[in-house]
Amino acid sequence: MLPAWMIDQVKRRSTDEEAKHIGDEYENTRNRPTHRDNSDSGDDNRVLEAGSGGGSPAPPPQVDYAAQNKAAMELEDHRARIAQEAQERADAKKAEQLASDKTAFQGKLGGAYATAENYGRGQLANMGIDDTYGIMGAYKTALDRARGMVPELDANPGQYFGSDLWENTLAGERTAERSQLTRGYESEVPQGFESTYIPDTADDALIESIVGGQYSEAEDYLNRAKARGTLNDVGFNTASTALRNQRAGAVARGNELGLGVLETGRQSLKDIDKQARSGITNWDFGDTYDPTAWSGKIKSGASAFTGGLEGKLRNAFGSTEFFDPEAFIAKGGKAQGAINPGGSALQDAISEEEKRRTAGSVGAF
């Protein structure tokens, strides 16, 4: 059994090493052999030799194993408590150090953030503009995003707040502003605007007028041929039918030529559009850009073009003849046969054409 004084002493120990020392002391005490002086051996012999006259010897003391086990368990429990307390002290010290490291890290992180923010403010001031674009707000959003990416307890959080954050933010905001200007401009000048302001039908009435004028001249020519007797009723009707049949083709040809004229006007509008879009491409903070000013130039350009379209069409057509009266008379003469002795309907038509040219009635616009 572990002596009570030893158990009390173990309980007063504060370290695991002391508890171990006590336990070792207990083990040595329990296992230590008992030494007797040789002088006592005679007395023992005398007791044994006494026989029945001296009485029976006292029995050895009984070992209390339950008490020993209890004492051992109490010792182990005490050792465990000492170890636990030591671990708790180590954990507390570790937690204290971690808290200190976190505080220092947050200080570095905040300083790096503030430095980067001040850098952006300085750059914005150097630009000399009012921040009506929200540049600083976008930059702080980028800083917040960068702060969220810094690993905890990083030794150098400032490396995550480089000047490229400002440059990238500025570039992104510039692109966003240009895109907004483009949308505003295209709402005024949508895709295909050139055909809207100068449609394919812009010259229809003018072409009809020009072709119709030449048609009337050709009709007059045939009427004069009939009046002179160059064409009889059969020949006149044949020639007139041919003239009427050619009118649709003449209008189509006029439209084809007119389309080229319209394209020159459309190209002039596209040139204005190109300048307008170049202004957006080269736009920067502090610049002014008015989409309506450019749409106004396009509209006025289209109006000026269509206003002078008839002259442009006549210049483009030049001496173009949409009808050939001689061919119609020849066709009519063939249908009726020769009616003038010693001459032919074609010869009469040629003579008449020479007179007409002398009078300057053909090709005048």
pLDDT score at 50: 44
Q: At what angle do helices 345-359 and 325-336 cross, to 10 degrees?
A: 160
Give residues with Cβ within 8 angstroms of 323, minimum separation 6. Answer: 214, 215, 217, 218, 243, 246, 247, 250
pLDDT score at 54: 52
For 94-152, give the secondary structure using H, E and C. HHHHHHHHHHHHHHHHHHHHHHHHHHHHHHHHHHCCCCCCCHHHHHHHHHHHHHCCCCC
**pLDDT, tens only, 273-284:** 999 999 999 999
| pTM (whole model) above 0.85 | no
**The two three-digit tokens of residue 220, written as one number:** 């007059």
pLDDT score at 3: 55
pLDDT score at 17: 54
**The two three-digit tokens of residue 41, written as one number:** 């051996």
**pLDDT, tens only, 153-190:** 999 999 999 999 999 999 999 999 999 999 999 999 99
**The two three-digit tokens of residue 65, written as one number:** 């194993």
User: Residues 344-351: what's their mean pLDDT?
Assistant: 50
Rounded Cα distance between 63 and 308, Å, is: 134
pLDDT score at 243: 95
**pLDDT, tens only, 185-226:** 999 999 999 999 999 999 999 999 999 999 999 999 999 999
For 297-332, give the secondary structure using H, E and C. HHHHHHHHHHHCHHHHHHHHHCCCCCCCHHHHHHHH
In this structure, of 160-169, 297-306, 328-337, the range with the lowest mean pLDDT score is: 328-337
Checking if the pLDDT of 314 tops 90, the result is yes
pLDDT score at 362: 37
Is 322 or 53 the better-scoring residue by pLDDT? 322
Rounded Cα distance between 154 and 9, Å, is: 49
**pLDDT, tens only, 133-143:** 999 999 999 99
What amino acid occupies position 238? Answer: T
Q: Are 123 and 166 in contact (CB under 8 A)?
A: yes
